Amino acid sequence: MGSPLNRLAHLVRGLGDLMGLTLLIDRLISQSEIVIIDGRKYVRKRYLKEVGIIKWIPPTILFRVSYPFTLSPRERFKRELSFMTYDWQGFVRTPKPVHIDEENLEILREYVEGSVINYLRDSEPLGRTLALIHGDGWALGDVKPTNFLVNKDSTHVYVIDAEQSVRTDDLTHKAWDITLTVFFASYAYLSDLTAYEAFLQEFLREYIRRWEGGIAVLRELSSMRFGGVFLIMPLPHVFTLADIVDSIIEEEKKSV
């Protein structure tokens, strides 16, 4: 079994691999599959699959106060279709639907080549992506890294999963996206607090630089609505986040 310190180190390494675990779980509960039609790759998503309902039960129950999650397959179908067909231009892109089956709640969309967002190298592109999405009046609800693909030249970020997205001006919904992002990143940087601090500085500053409403969203992070998320974050990372957010807000006050 090894010493208690060795067991603790093993646990820390396991938690630090949370992103790899996220990728694995994402594949296991996926509603999507790659299909080949006439020699071309496409992605088919089936919203009636049971895993699509089951995986949304915990956040719908636990975090409904923070974000309007839905279990309904038809509503998730409609939300994703609305987001994917929105007139996104410039940096943010979505895969184009090529066939929509409203009866069976299925979407066939183009296959997009790219790399999953990596917190180590893509902190600024991620901040820019969320700023542009929020600035256009949307929130995503689900911002796990596997929902974003960076293209080969890093000129675009594709949002490939948006079934919980909503049109909203509510700052709480947008603050949820930021809260969940820094939560995932806290475990990606579980054993490296300095790297986590660097991620936060780049991600949050790019976010407020790209959208003037971003600073109001950062103020929302102190709301008790997000307390449940922060309770399951590593405590040193919570303190680091609080210090950086306070620092950014103070800087913005002085610059006005």
Condensed to tens digits (0 to 9), the pLDDT of residues 209-250 reads 999 999 999 999 999 999 999 999 999 999 999 999 999 999
CA dist 165 to 3, 67, 220, Å? 46, 10, 19
What lies within 8 Å, CB to CB, of 38 at 6+ separation is none
The pLDDT of residue 22 is: 53
Helix intervals (H) in the chain: 4-16, 18-28, 50-54, 57-62, 73-84, 123-135, 171-188, 193-210, 214-220, 227-231, 235-255
d(CA 85, CA 63): 27
Asked whether the CA dihedral 99, 67, 51, 15 is positive or negative, the reply is positive
Among the listed residues 45, 254, 219, 234, the one whose alpha carbon sits nearest the alpha carbon of residue 147: 45
Residues of the chain with pLDDT under 50: 1-16
The pLDDT of residue 25 is: 54
The pLDDT of residue 23 is: 54
Please, which residues bridge with residue 32 across strands? 45
The pLDDT of residue 157 is: 97
pTM: 0.88
d(CA 76, CA 69): 9
Hunting for tokens 């699959």 — which residue is that? 49
The pLDDT of residue 49 is: 86
Structural domains present in the chain:
4-255 (1.10.510.10)
Across 40-57, b (16+ Cβ under 10 Å) vs e yields eebbbbbbebeebbebbe
